[in-house]
Amino acid sequence: MSSSLASFMGDLQEDLVFEQVKQQLQEGVSPESIFNELQAGMTIVGERYQSQDYYLSELIMAADIFKNATALLQEKLQTVSKETIGTIVLGTVAGDIHDIGKDIVSLVFASNGFQVIDLGVDVPIPRFVEAVRTHQPDFVGISCLLTTCFDKMRATIAALEEEGLRSSVKVLIGGGPVEQATCDYVKADALCKDAPSGVKIAKQVLGVE
């Protein structure tokens, strides 16, 4: 087994990840390099999730390890985090208070170089519109775990169209009951089966991978 930080992250070896981050900081390794290794480890996690070697519980664990490991970099990481490849406004649609899936998406996107504007859950349509106007993101991510809220998702996207903001963003949707038929109905740009596939789609749109 490789002793690299990326491998420890990919293997979900929490203690070794923290130990390596602390050791590299003490040795004067740049926070940029440490952050990049952690990102590479999250890429490994994403690949294993997509190949069904890992499941939701492992994905949640990986996101937690990544969050805690990057916290060790403290203010030095804040400079690194500004070097983003894109921005996504993210939220759970109005009427839906589920946050686990949305939180995983937030962490996985952040760990892959995206600035995430997390609006939380039960997000009113005007708040999505305001966030897009204010932050001018590349993507809008809408999470939905209730079939009864599909119409709200459709209305949210329609509101972006009405405000003249729809053409400037790609809308990505996801959630347990969300299917391609849902994507077509609400007029989103892409269906994301899970967080790693969402990142892959976003990177393809941006031409960075």
| pLDDT tens digits along 165-186 | 999 999 999 988 999 999 999 9
pLDDT at position 76 is 63
95: left (phi over 0), alpha (psi -120 to 50) or beta: left
| Homologous superfamily of domain range 5-81 | Methionine synthase domain (1.10.1240.10)
CB 154 within 8 A of CB 185: yes
**Rounded Cα–Cα distance for residues 115 and 128 (Å):** 16
CA angle 119, 85, 164 (to 5 degrees): 55
Query: What would you report as the CA-atom Rg of the chain, rounded to the nearest whole angstrom?
Result: 18
**Rounded Cα–Cα distance for residues 170 and 24 (Å):** 38
Q: What is the token pair recorded at 101?
A: 């899936």
Tell me the domain boundaries of the chain: 5-81, 86-206
**Rounded Cα–Cα distance for residues 114 and 209 (Å):** 14
Burial 55-73 (b: 16+ CB within 10 A, else e): eeeebeebbebbeebbebb
- Hey, how many other C-beta atoms are within 10 angstroms of the C-beta on 203? 16
Confidence band, pLDDT 50/70/90 cuts, at residue 201: very high
Q: What is the token pair recorded at 46?
A: 């994403």
pTM over 0.75: no
Flag whether pLDDT at 31 surpasses 90.
no
pLDDT digits (tens, 9 = 90+) for 35-86: 878 888 988 888 898 899 998 889 889 988 988 888 887 656 555 555 689 9
Flag whether pLDDT at 8 surpasses 60.
yes
pLDDT at position 2 is 44
Of the CATH numbers 3.40.50.150, 3.40.50.720, 3.40.50.280, 3.30.2270.10, which one belongs to the domain with range 86-206? 3.40.50.280
Torsion sign (Cα): 14, 16, 18, 20? negative
Least confident window among 49-58, 99-108, 152-161: 99-108
